A and B are shown apart, each in its own frame.
Chain A
Amino acid sequence: MTMLPERAPGAKKLGLVIDLDTCVGCHACAVNCKEWNTGGEAAILPDYDKYGPQPDGVWFNRIHSYETEEGGCSRTVNLPRSCLHCEDALCVTVCPTGASYKRLEDGIVLVDTDKCIGCQLCAWACPYGARELDEKAGVMRKCTLCIDRIYDENLPAAEREPACVATCPSRARHFGDLADPQSEVSKLVKERGGVDLLSDLGYRPTNKYLPPRRATIPSAPAEAPSHDGKGLGAALLKLLDKALSR
């Protein structure tokens, strides 16, 4: 059913917290996601023109880089972009078939590819560009938050996290229950001032992004040169004068 579910009290809100302060833009999450969801030649996520002029394919996660300027500070920001599992997921409500749905129990937005007719309206409804059409199977694909990993009891508990999180080399990606204020992800969001992308559009994304920050080292001003530029400075001479013990 494509009506958005009323969130039951105590229901989980699973999602990602992505640290833009730490993401180096290496594409590891994107490729491991592709790999997990494709399985080599099994072609669940298709590729088109693999070795030709227009190499392309379906990816759940894509990494952009930007140059930003904020408060006189310019920097390069890498942004992994994927489904944010919005609370007001327009991609769900526009779906005419019920293929697109949001799970009651954990808020994950999924596509039932057995029901999808490939009308692509959901892709249009998503401001984040998170849904890509599988042009081979004719159905819409999107991030599943690795639902086939996070609930797989055959996996050790520590590995029950999305592939992108498990593989992220700079540990810029965090997974957890954002409905639980005590969860690590909720604490990160609180401490670091996690933000929504395109918050004005009102989709209320579950995934949060932690903005870049700047560590500083308050230090005493460097000492002014105490010599005429020739020979050793007074401070050094004083230091060298001290008795040492080998």
Chain B
Amino acid sequence: MRPAASILLLTTATGFGFGLLAWLGAYAALGLLPPEAPALLIAGIALALILASVGLLASVFHLERKERAWRAFTQWRSSWLSREGVAAVLIYPLAIALGVAFLRDAQSLWTRLLGAATLVGSLGTVYCTAMIYASLKPVRQWHNAHTAPDYLLYALFSGAVLFAALRTAALGAAGPMASVAALMAALACFAKCAYWRHIDRQGPLATLASAIGLPKGTAKALDAPHFSENYILRQMGFVIARRHAARLRRLALGVGFALPLVLEVLAGLPVVPLTSTLLALGCAAVGLLIERWLFFGEATHVAALYYGRPV
């Protein structure tokens, strides 16, 4: 599948945003946010919403008819994309209400309830995003049990890294978030490896023979309907070279997960906590973009079978 910049930005930026919001919500729900630093929460919410907005805006740029984007909110009953939109929009008042409640009384029941709702809403939105891909049966690398949990995990990981940096910037120390972020990095890394192992071992979704209705035979493509690349091939015929993919995988693991893990451990010790958390944040951002690029670039669409391409 063609990795479109707008979608890479959408999924990673909203991952950071909703991930951060999820942690803020969790902290608020558990009453763990230091009431003496309301700025942390307010800044966190603001930053999360900005990131979410950047992501959502990027996704609008992916649309061919942006002026009709509002229509995307209508089909929440069947469409994960519509649900993502609705959920994302609902988060904004929720998060703002959380901020207001927190300013009034950091430990009130409202604050806790709104925190819990924000946590659920944020993760729910991420889940919707994940399900857009996980529900696409023609793409075996997406339509599997890994996609949704992985998206949640990456959101939590990126949110944790961001929160750790934010907390360090606000309070001088990451506190438990450094350890949480390090743990999330380890889990995300593990999940990614498990995912790659899964897709590498997965058989093809279908054979060319079954694609042309002769499942008992074998088939080889002779002539395609056209010589120039068409829309289907540009979108769904994108194939990344195996060697190139392996290099990118190593890069994603190293930069995206291993370095942040080390840096968060350093921050937790604490060794230059601000620098470490900020570096971790940068690494995570770059690594996750690479990871996301691979998520698309390594995905194959069964329609490409018709052109004799591997799926």
Residues of A within 8 A of B (CB): 1-4, 20, 27, 30, 49, 54-59, 62-71, 76-77, 79, 81, 90, 92-99, 115-121, 123-129, 132-133, 135, 138-139, 195-203, 209, 211-212
Any chain A CB within 8 A of the CB of B222?
yes
In the assembled complex, which residues on chain A have CB atoms less than 8 Å from the CB atom of B302? 127, 198, 201
Chain A contacts for B231, CB-based, 8 A: 56, 58, 123, 132-133, 135
Nearest to A210 among chain B residues (CB) is: B213
B232 contacts A by Cβ under 8 Å: yes
**Cβ–Cβ < 8 Å partners of A20 in chain B:** 212-213
B208-225 CB contact bits vs A (8 Å, 1 = yes)? 111111111111111111
| Known contacts A55-B228, A120-B235, A125-B136, A2 near B303 by CB under 8 Å | no
For the complex of A and B, the 9 pairs showing the least CB-CB separation, nearest first, are: A118-B64, A138-B64, A70-B217, A129-B303, A62-B225, A96-B82, A97-B71, A127-B138, A96-B72
B82 and A198 within 8 A (CB)? no
CB neighbours (8 Å) of A121 from chain B are 79, 81, 132
Kindly list chain A residues whose C-beta atoms are within 8 Å of the C-beta of B208: 66
Name the interface size band of chain B: 35 or more
B222 touches A95 (CB 8 A): no
> Is B205 an interface residue, CB under 8 A from the partner?
yes
* Cα-based distance from A30 to B98 in the complex (angstroms): 57
For window 184-232 of B, CB contacts with A under 8 Å fall at 205-206, 208-232
Residues of chain A within 8 A (CB-CB) of B77 are 1-3
Tell me, yes or no, whether B144 is within 8 Å of chain A by CB: no
What residues of B have a CB within 8 angstroms of the CB of A198 in the complex?
206, 210-211, 302
Contact with A along B278-293 (1 / 0, CB 8 A): 0000000000000000
The answer for the CA separation of A1 and B76 in the assembled complex, in Å, is 10
B1 at the binding interface (Cβ < 8 Å): yes
The total number of A-B Cβ pairs within 8 Å is 207
Q: Output the nearest chain B residue to A197 by Cβ-Cβ distance.
A: B213
**Contact at B225–A64, with CB atoms within 8 Å?**
yes
A selection of 12 A-B contacts at a CB cut-off of 8 Å is: A2-B78, A64-B307, A68-B214, A70-B218, A97-B71, A97-B82, A118-B63, A119-B64, A123-B231, A124-B136, A127-B302, A200-B210
- Contact, CB under 8 Å: B225 / A63: yes
B18 on the interface (CB 8 Å rule)? no
Contact yes or no, B137 A54, CB < 8 A: no
Chain B 29-73 residues near chain A, CB threshold 8 A: 62-66, 68-69, 71-73
| A135 to B80 Cα, complex, angstroms | 24
Closest A residue by C-beta to B216: A70
Q: Which of B68, B82, B209 sits near A68, CB closer than 8 Å?
A: B209
Is B135 among interface residues, defined by CB-CB distance under 8 A?
yes
Name the residue on B nearest A101 (C-beta): B75
Which residues from chain A contact B221 at a C-beta distance below 8 Å?
64-66
Q: Are B205 and A201 interface neighbours, CB within 8 A? A: yes
Q: Are B229 and A56 in contact (CB under 8 A)?
A: yes
A94 touches B301 (CB 8 A): no
Chain B CB within 10 A, most for which of A49, A77, A121, A139: A121
In whole angstroms, what is the CA distance A23 to B41 when docked?
67
Task: Give chain A residues whose Cβ lies under 8 Å from the Cβ of B72.
Answer: 96-97, 117, 119
CB–CB B138/A97 < 8 A: no
Q: Which residue of A lies closest to B139 (CB)?
A: A124
> CA A124 – CA B218 in complex, angstroms?
26
A203 / chain B contacts, CB cutoff of 8 Å: 137
Question: What is the distance, in angstroms, from A139's C-beta to the closest C-beta of chain B?
Answer: 7
Q: Are A59 and B225 in contact (CB under 8 A)?
A: yes
A residues within 8 A CB of B78? 2-4, 92-95
In the complex, whether B85 has a CB less than 8 A from a CB of chain A is yes
Q: Does B108 have its Cβ within 8 Å of any Cβ on chain A?
A: no
Contact assessment for A124 and B68 in the assembled complex, using a CB-CB cutoff below 8 Å? no
